[in-house]
Chains A and B, each alone.
Chain A
Amino acid sequence: MTQNAIIEIEGVSKAFGSVTALNGVDATIREGEFFSLLGPSGCGKTTLLRLIAGFDEPTDGTVVIAGQSMAGIPANKRPTNMVFQSYAIFPHLSVADNVGYGLKRKQMSREEINRAVTDALAMVDLAGYGNRAAHELSGGQRQRVALARALVMKPKVVLLDEPLSALDKKLREQMQVELRQLQQQIGITFILVTHDQEEALIMSDRIAVLFEGEIAQLDTPEALYRRPVSKRVASFIGVMNFLPATVTAKAKGALAVDIPSLGKVSLAAGHAPEGLDPTSVSTIGVRPEMLTILFDDAEKAECETTGEVTATSYCGDMTYYSVLLPKADEAVTISMRNTAGRSIVPAGTKVRVGWGAESVVLFD
């Protein structure tokens, strides 16, 4: 992956009447990366995609694509192509005519168009479907046609507006993997809009999390999951247990963190997210899989506390335990892999809970 910027979004705001959809968004999208815009519905992610595509003009700020400002440039003159949420397959055209639609305006011979269409259909595993009518296709096939129609234009950026949301779970999971592989093969920049955090984690190189028209965090999937910058980001991506805490001292580049429910621990100063004043820390977060129930007396963990199981939920490969820790108002969730020979402890059982200092995330 190269580091050259393909899209620069500079201070982009968009208002529809009195409603602000985007508020001063800055982001740089790199050439060849799989970039996701993730957020709950109404956070402005689709608006941002439409501003990049050229269907709307920003109220403020500029969108630069491949070094060229897109101000005043309509959608049909931009080096981007979109896969619509509804797929927008032209119902009166065959699959091949749908895919070749945009090529007709280019200076290409009939044979060149045919070849490009055949190649594009093969790329999305629809070789031989060219003569089918649009209404003969299943949802997954329509999605592939929409993708082939965008890819055949050889755009600098492919924009995907929740392309998988209409598919059932199995097909969606399969398409997530295929889409990611295809993107890595052809090396074109993809920008995906999704409200599904799991989908974004699986597919993306980098993710921008949007809340209320502003980017809350822009990071790699791993950084987003491990080091979320706010409680809101933390609870939007995966499950996070929050516990009250205070930072009691700061000496020799170390933070002494007092978590009443878990115990006291010392962390490196660099552990606090950028821009967070360590003394303002009031909460810590810890992921369910970072807490361990120590079933065996011989098991040891870096740090330990005790708790009481209040509820269990069995999910096949995993069991989720709700455990009430000392001095805590609410039970935390602990996920445990169901290994061979491990039985599920019932509610009411007193257990030892192990955890590691590194897995603690600090919030204000």
Chain B
Amino acid sequence: MNIGRFFSRNWLTGYAVVYMLVLYLPVVLLPLFAFNASTIIAFPLTGFTFEWFGVLFETKALHSAVQNSLIIAVITSILSTLLGTLGARAMVRYRFPLKRGIVGLIMVPLILPEIIVGVSLLVLLMQIGISLSIWTVIAGHVLICVPFSVAILSSAFQGLDPSLEEASMDLGETRFGTFRRVIMPLILPGIISSLLITFTISLDEFIIAFFLTGTDVTLPVYIWGQMRFPTKLPSVMALGTILLVLSVFLLVLGEVFRRRSASRQGQDASATGGLM
């Protein structure tokens, strides 16, 4: 009996299609209603409009939320890439006591539910008496972004032949000169990739921002607040559409840089891991 073949040919294909639809159809609805003329989010569509995008430009509270989010995302991406570079370097190049434990500890926020991170950080900050601000959100975001940074950059460092650094030193270059002239150019695509991806993660992040934000709300927190007002829904859809396009663009760009880093070192890009 060819039961296995029957399942693989028909059922599994059907299952895969349904799976993809359930996963991505809601996302397609977002831009669909963003351009819909009606204030009610329901079919049938009534007409095409840019009105909701226009509303976004007139909302002052939104602008400060966008500003907060951008500041947080930029600082988070720089800090976590910096820490990620150092961590990845140590992880790939050096042996030290408790290495596995330390690496595990760095990577654990990847699988830890964000709500736990958010709540525990909030409790901690309250206990030591630090008031909530943009900076507390940044601290939370760095915590969850560093593992991504480490993952991306360790693939960049893994492809770096240690004898390149020795060759540079051997040719009279200093440690710093070696970093500037050899290491940096070779891992630069990885660094850019890490900056873009951590920026995107921070920009989209809701749960930690919700717990740790004070009066300076971030964009996702602002959007959540607007959901309570049905008349604001279409403009939220428009905002969501902009964020969606921006995120996809940044993630793709990040992956392009990571692959370029791998191919510059003569490796198969798909063999070095990565996020896509």
Contact = CB atoms under 8 A, between A and B. Distances in A.
A55 interface: yes
Interface string B233-270: 00000000000000000000000000000001110000
Nearest to B159: A91
A88 B173 contact: no
Interface string A56-98: 0000000000000000001111001110111010111000000
B4 to A, nearest CB: 44
B276 interface: no
Contacts of A352: none
B186 interface: yes
Given A102-B172, A149-B171, A92 B166 contact: no
Contacts of B171: 76, 81, 101-102, 105, 149, 153
B172 A86 contact: no
Interface residues of B, number: 20
B167 A84 contact: yes
A86 B186 CA distance: 17
A105 B173 contact: yes
A270 B168 CA distance: 50
B170 interface: yes
B124 interface: no
Contacts of B168: 90, 101
A75 B174 CA distance: 9
Given A91-B186, A91-B265, A53 B170 contact: yes
B102 to A, nearest CB: 21
Given A75-B170, A81-B170, A153-B171, A88 B264 contact: no
A135 interface: yes
Given A76-B174, A91-B186, A92-B186, A84 B166 contact: yes
B167 A82 contact: yes
B95 to A, nearest CB: 11
B166 A88 contact: yes
Contacts, number: 63
Contacts of B185: 92
B177 A105 contact: yes
B265 A82 contact: no
Contacts of A106: 172
Given A76-B172, A76-B174, A105-B177, A88 B167 contact: yes
B164 A74 contact: no
B215 interface: no
Nearest to B185: A92
Given A76-B174, A91-B266, A92-B264, A86 B169 contact: no
A80 B265 CA distance: 27
Contact of A76 (B173, B182, B265, B266): B173
A74 B182 CA distance: 18
Contacts of A101: 168, 171, 173, 181
B150 to A, nearest CB: 23
Nearest to A100: B171
B265 to A, nearest CB: 6
Given A75-B169, A85-B163, A91-B164, 14 more contacts: A75-B166, A76-B173, A84-B163, A84-B166, A86-B161, A88-B167, A90-B167, A90-B182, A91-B186, A92-B264, A101-B181, A105-B171, A106-B172, A153-B172
24 contacts: A53-B166, A55-B169, A55-B170, A75-B166, A76-B170, A76-B172, A85-B163, A88-B161, A88-B164, A88-B166, A90-B164, A91-B164, A91-B265, A92-B185, A92-B186, A101-B168, A101-B171, A102-B172, A105-B171, A105-B177, A135-B266, A149-B167, A153-B171, A153-B172
Interface of A: 53-55, 74-77, 80-82, 84-86, 88, 90-92, 101-102, 105-106, 135, 149, 153
The 3 closest A-B CB pairs, nearest first, are: A102-B171, A88-B167, A88-B163
